[in-house]
Amino acid sequence: MNLLDMLAGDPPQAIYKTEESPTTVLGVSETKTNNETESNDGVHYLPTVLTPMQRDICEIIVQIMRHHLTNGVESRRNRASINSLLETAESSEGIASSSDSYDMIKLLFDQLCIASRHPSLLVDHLMPKKLLLSETNQRLLNLSGNLKLFNEIIDGIIDTLRYSSKTEVFNILVIAENVKELELVEGIIIGKQLYYKNLSSGKMYEDNRGMPSSEQTEEEPKSKKRRFISREPQTGSAAPCLYLTTTQQFYNHYTPASLSGNSAFNLIFSFDQTIDCDSPSIEVLRNVDNNGRKTPILIPVPVMSILHVLTQIAKPAGNLGNIPIDRSSSPAHKWRIRALNVYAVNRFNLFEQSVTGFYRKHHQSMIDLYNWITDPTVENFPDFGIQEFSNSLNLNFTDEKLMKKLRVDYLETLAISDGEMRTYNYGEEVRSYKNFKYTLSVILNERIGELEATQKSLSNEQLTTFRNDESKRQLEIDRDEDLIAAGYREMKALIDKANIAERLSARVDADIAKVRQKNEDLKSKKRYLEDNVKSATEEIVANQKANIAELEKELNNVAVELEKLNGESEETRFKYQESSATAAKLSGELSELQEKNIKLQQKVTGPGARLLPTLFKDDSLHKIEAECYRIEQESKVIEEMFAQKLDTVIKERNGILDSSGGSSSRQVNRISRSATPM
């Protein structure tokens, strides 16, 4: 027991618990109940698992920064020092040291949270859009468990809507912490049968497709504040529509038009686990009636990760009025240390999980989740057993156990040399963000080298050996197949011989049955004759002989008649042959005549015969037209002749009138108005 424990009067067993116990450090309840984790208000935490790359990067980060956690444990062990009791806020050296510890603990906490969401977010610079568009979906999904869960949910919703009778548009609001994470989300939804719009930036790939009648339009009110309004979808389309936005933009700029009733979202999926579900923006948006229930919010939580630990440890409320000089003594700093210690103790569970096994285990729950999302009438949310993972977290442990867990490196090296697993050089204690990034990049580079060496080893050694073994096995299979084929041919020949023998035996059995039947008939006849011979008399014998004689006469008569009939049949056959020859000759002539008749009928009823009346009419018309043309020409000549003569008469008349113009006699000057004779 140290000096501070004796002064505080705590029981001796208290020193074997962590310092940040729920009753001593935080001052608030740390664990959340199942009702808080999956509330009845429609906020549901979905369990997922970290991918192998995520858990390896998280383990590398812990190993790089573990000195700051161990230093905190060692400082708690040395609390009995008198100098530590005499330290005051004016000690600049102590304040500087605590400030460095505060910054490094915060850096460790932030980097673990980022790596648990997506390892690509650790990169400081922007990711090229071409890189995201050229990567396959399988490779992108292997980077993040959250994206893998989101991809499963989107594919399930698409399949459920495709085979449902619903026609309305299914609106989904996707919230992420930053634009870079939205681009990662956009990289996996490109190419799916859905519509989407990035409200925080432009699309990586502009497909020139508008949102189907439920597209959110942007308005610029007088206050210069952007409003994104989701219109009511029209019927005729069941494709999901995704709207991507960041958390901060959603808090500040999203104002749904609740008065018009057209801002209903069917689902809100948040990649940001720290989203405030009680904020006015979300409350107003979720209060819009969505077929009888509030819009559900789904938040993915990688189990056994730092994000999972944060759901079980309550974050202390901020107090701006009481900001301590030493930041290491703030409740937020102690909360981070508490979460990091719990994660360090429980992180071994990450390497015992299987991504494939996890989704196979919750396959039926995922199907129920798709139906629950698309059908608002389904009330019960499917059980994913996240509380079981939460109960398996070890929240109470000793400092010795924490130190033991921190010394263990769970990162599995891939390259093997001299039969021993080599360890990574995590360097000395990191004191700055730059050193941390440098050490992380060096270890990741070594990791990539191990991957290349492992790939080369598999290609050169194990793959060659595997191919040789496979070739030998294939040769053995070929030999066995040849033996099986030979045996099959022999068996088929034996089966054919057996079938032939079976048919012969059946035929022999049938012949034997016939012979037996004949023997039975002969025996019965013999018995009949013997019985009749015994009872026969002379009169019966005489009558029988007389009957036999009559029968012989009838037989002779029948034979004569048969000979006559045979002769008549021969004559009739000869006559029939002659008549048939004549009939064949006549039938040939008849067929020739029929062919000639058909040809004549074709000529009579052919297209030429049908055109004769038309040809007659055309010929008559040509003749009439020629006669009309001749008459017209003659009439023209006569008209010209008459016109010439008429002009001559008119000229002569005019000359007479002109010559008699000087006479004063009225009678002489009068000219007759009657027509001039021809």
Dihedral angle computed from the Cα positions of residues 66, 70, 71 and 74, in that order, rounded to the nearest 10 degrees: 180
504 belongs to a structural domain: yes
Q: Which residues contact 564 (CB under 8 A, 6 or more apart)?
A: none
531 belongs to a structural domain: no
Number of domains the chain contains: 3
| Pair (28, 163) in one structural domain | yes
530 belongs to a structural domain: no
What pLDDT does residue 263 have?
53
| Pair (377, 420) in one structural domain | no
What pLDDT does residue 162 have?
83
What pLDDT does residue 38 have?
43
- Reported pTM: 0.59
Q: How many residues does the chain have?
A: 678
| Pair (507, 432) in one structural domain | yes
176 belongs to a structural domain: yes
| Pair (233, 354) in one structural domain | yes
Q: For residues 246 and 230, what is the distance between their CA atoms, to the nearest angstrom? A: 17
| Pair (108, 24) in one structural domain | yes
| Pair (142, 203) in one structural domain | yes
4 belongs to a structural domain: no
Give me the residues of the chain with pLDDT under 70, please.
1-40, 79-99, 204-210, 213-238, 253-263, 287-292, 318-326, 413-423, 425, 427, 661-678
Q: Do 126 and 135 meet the contact criterion of CB atoms below 8 Å apart?
A: no
| Pair (375, 494) in one structural domain | no
pLDDT digits (tens, 9 = 90+) for 79-97: 645 444 444 434 444 444 5
Q: Which residues contact 248 (CB under 8 A, 6 or more apart)?
A: none
Task: Please provide the DSSP assignment of 192-236 as one string.
Answer: SSSEEEESSS--SS------SS-PPEEE--TT---EEEPPPPPSS
Burial (CB count <10 Å: 0-12, 13-18, 19+), residue 266: buried
Q: For residues 107 and 433, what is the distance between their CA atoms, to the nearest angstrom? A: 8
Task: Please provide the DSSP assignment of 285-311 as one string.
Answer: HHTS-BTTBPPPEEEEEETTSHHHHHH
573 belongs to a structural domain: no
pLDDT digits (tens, 9 = 90+) for 228-252: 333 333 444 567 888 888 888 888 7
| Pair (292, 174) in one structural domain | yes
Q: For residues 194 and 161, what is the distance between their CA atoms, to the nearest angstrom? A: 11
Query: Pairing between strand 416-417 and 420-421?
Result: antiparallel
- For 629, the domain range is 613-650
What pLDDT does residue 369 have?
86
The residue from 483, 518, 553 where one domain ends is: 518
Measured N-to-C along each axis, helices 363-374 and 145-162 cross at an angle, to the nearest 10 degrees, of 60
pLDDT digits (tens, 9 = 90+) for 9-38: 333 433 334 444 333 333 333 344 333 344
